[in-house]
Amino acid sequence: MGSFIEVKDLYFKYDDPEDENKNEFALNGINLTIEKGSFVAVVGHNGSGKSTLAKHFNSLYLPTSGDVSVNGMNTKDDSHLFDIRRSIGLVLQNPDNQIVAGIVEDDVAFGCENLGIPPKEIRKRVDDALKAVDMYEYRLHSPDKLSGGQKQRVAIAGIIAMEPECIVLDEPTAMLDPQGRDEVISAVMKLNRERGITVIIITHYMEEAVLADRVVVIDKGRVFLDGTPKEVFSQVEMLKQHRLDVPQGTELVYKLRGCGFELPKCVLDENECADAIEKLLKGVS
Amino acid sequence: MSVITAENVTFTYGKGTSFERTALSGVSFSVEEGEFLGVIGHTGSGKSTLVQMFNGLLRPTSGRILLNGKDIWEQPKKIREVRFKVGMVFQYPEHQLFEETVYKDISFGPKNKGMSEEETDKKVREAAGFVGLSEELLKKSPFELSGGEKRRAAIAGVIAMDPDVLILDEPTAGLDPLGRDALLSEIVTYHKVRKNTVLLVSHSMEDIARISDRILVMNNGRKAMLDTSENIFSQGAELEKMGLRVPQITKVMMLLKQRGISVNTGVLTVEQAFQEILSCLGCCGETKKW
């Protein structure tokens, strides 16, 4: 796995004359390398700078100082703009803001059409992309009749059809119900595992972050924690101090450990948590 | 006493067209005065359609909605009064801010209700206090506020009308965990102080479980369950069939029970689970001693 995105000493300030905090940097010296094919979750509270960071990946924003490069191409270099945007697809929070066509398959084809891909090839890619997110049977439906989770998967299909190497999702599940969240996350995980697409997901849901290979916690425009989900979520106290949650099961085991019971340092999901507590209870009796 | 009663309410979108779709069928239940009712259901379950019935934004195709025992559609021309009594905070309410200053925006509702200048001023300040907006912010343009502040300003606009029933549709969507907790505790405090009725629609089972007196579960346009939080969440398997999820901590307890450990599966918070496990450990520990 080679590095795909390189962020070096990234500082960023919003250029807004009306902003009272104009002397404050939204990003305060970020250094980060994203490996090709990895699945990275970026978490942080509102205003921590995580979305600002995401918008640097496909050069929607340019660094005030420092550099961001994608596949070796510096985002500041205009001549690479199209290549960068082609290799990184961005999915936003509200599916309604990113659907443009009246029929699902037209919407998925929109990006490809703009890239000037031959119609035959588009047909193939659209079908393929819709199958990848399990929305093929809805290809002739009207997007406004779909549920939020379905719409979001259509938006993702539109990105996949352009065959990017990386997908950046900015809180893709914030507006969805639990079932919609599961649908979107499992579609994204499948793309990562089966097609090797690099995935960067920005989320408030720690239950989603634990599914990633790596969790990056952003606070005050800096990388505050960076590691595997186990490494990051074992820092319960530290995360709470920085206005972040841990999954409930993780917190329970942490509290029990605090009472001196012998438990694993970090559990991530309900099964691991139940395993640990079962062992503890049976060990005592 | 019941504040709101739904009597066999049915609602069909696009009646008589080829897009006809029944969103609610035969829904009957009552909301008691002073109650905090949580409403959950998967997308398309009919929960938003249902709450829009309560302030007369939608009219039942058949059945009745009673407010304080009176059919709200008895005199359709007076439906406006119902909208002052039942305040509705929509999803992403900050998209509806429009005035020059936050103060003016919050005062829009009370003024329309016909309150005097003096009374309006009192209500605006009170409402701003409930949602934690400072005096300073009232003078600002709503568009200068942060996302969380905008959301609060919009909610204050509804609270200022002093409704008997406050309905909130997904008030915490898109907020981070701390922002979510802060807003929820403001709503809980408001409910305690004002002692009025609050209906909260949410996808977050953890939040609903923590703060509701009772929970209404909607599924495919029907009332699936209406009970206390503990009784609702002890039926994890049924909820999952309806596309809903129980809080992760409840799920852990369910798994332990499946493995033959006798724990209370009605646990809803980490603290409750912690106490439950401690008492299991304590009792097992003692058995060992003997």
pLDDT at A96: 80
Residue B285 pLDDT > 70: no
Question: Using CB atoms, which residue from A147, A204, A278 is nearest to B177?
Answer: A204
- Give the number of domains in chain B: 1
DSSP annotation of B91 reads S
Contact B270 A281 (CB under 8 A): no
Write out chain B residues lying below 8 Å of A97, CB-based: none
Contact B79, B65 (CB under 8 A): no
Percent over 70 (pLDDT), chain B: 97
> Which structural domain, as residue segments, surrounds residue B290?
247-290
User: What is the mean pLDDT of each successive set of 10 residues along chain A, which is 285 residues long?
Assistant: 88 74 81 95 88 91 94 93 91 82 93 91 93 90 84 90 92 80 88 93 90 94 94 91 86 91 90 92 74
CA-based nearest residue to B210, from A259, A208, A248: A248
User: Is residue B177 less than 8 Å (CB to CB) from chain A?
Assistant: yes
Indicate the angle between helix axes B270-289 and A248-258, nearest 10 degrees: 40
Interchain contact A171–B (C-beta under 8 A): yes
pLDDT band at B266 (very low <50, low <70, confident <90, very high): confident
Assigned token pair, B253: 């307890």
Nearest CA in chain B to A269: B248
Would the CB atoms of B277 and A281 count as touching at under 8 Å?
A: yes
pTM, entire model: 0.79
B80, part of any domain: no
Residue B79 lies in a domain: no
Which residues of chain B are within 8 Å of residue A174 when distances are taken between CB atoms? 173-174
- Tell me, yes or no, whether B274 lies in a domain: yes
User: Chain B: nearest CA to A69, how far in angstroms?
Assistant: 29
The domain defined by A3-246 carries CATH number 3.40.50.300: yes
Amino acid in position A280: L
Please report the pLDDT score of residue B283 as a whole number. Answer: 54
A158 touches B: beta carbon within 8 Å = no
Which helix (H) or strand (E) covers residue B235, if one does? Answer: none
pLDDT value at residue A150: 86
Structural domain spans, chain A: 3-246
Residue A220 and residue B34: Cα distance in Å, rounded?
41
In angstroms, the CA A66 to CA A230 distance is: 30
Confidence tier at B290 by pLDDT (50, 70, 90): very low
φ/ψ of residue A244, rounded to 5: -120, 155
Q: Which residue of B has its CA nearest to A285?
A: B284
Hey, are the CB atoms on B179 and A180 less than 8 Å from each other? no
Q: Report the residue from A171, A178, A256 with minimal CB separation from B274.
A: A256
Residue B228 DSSP SS3: strand
A148/B147 Cβ within 8 A: no
Q: How far is B165 from chain A (nearest CA, A)?
A: 25
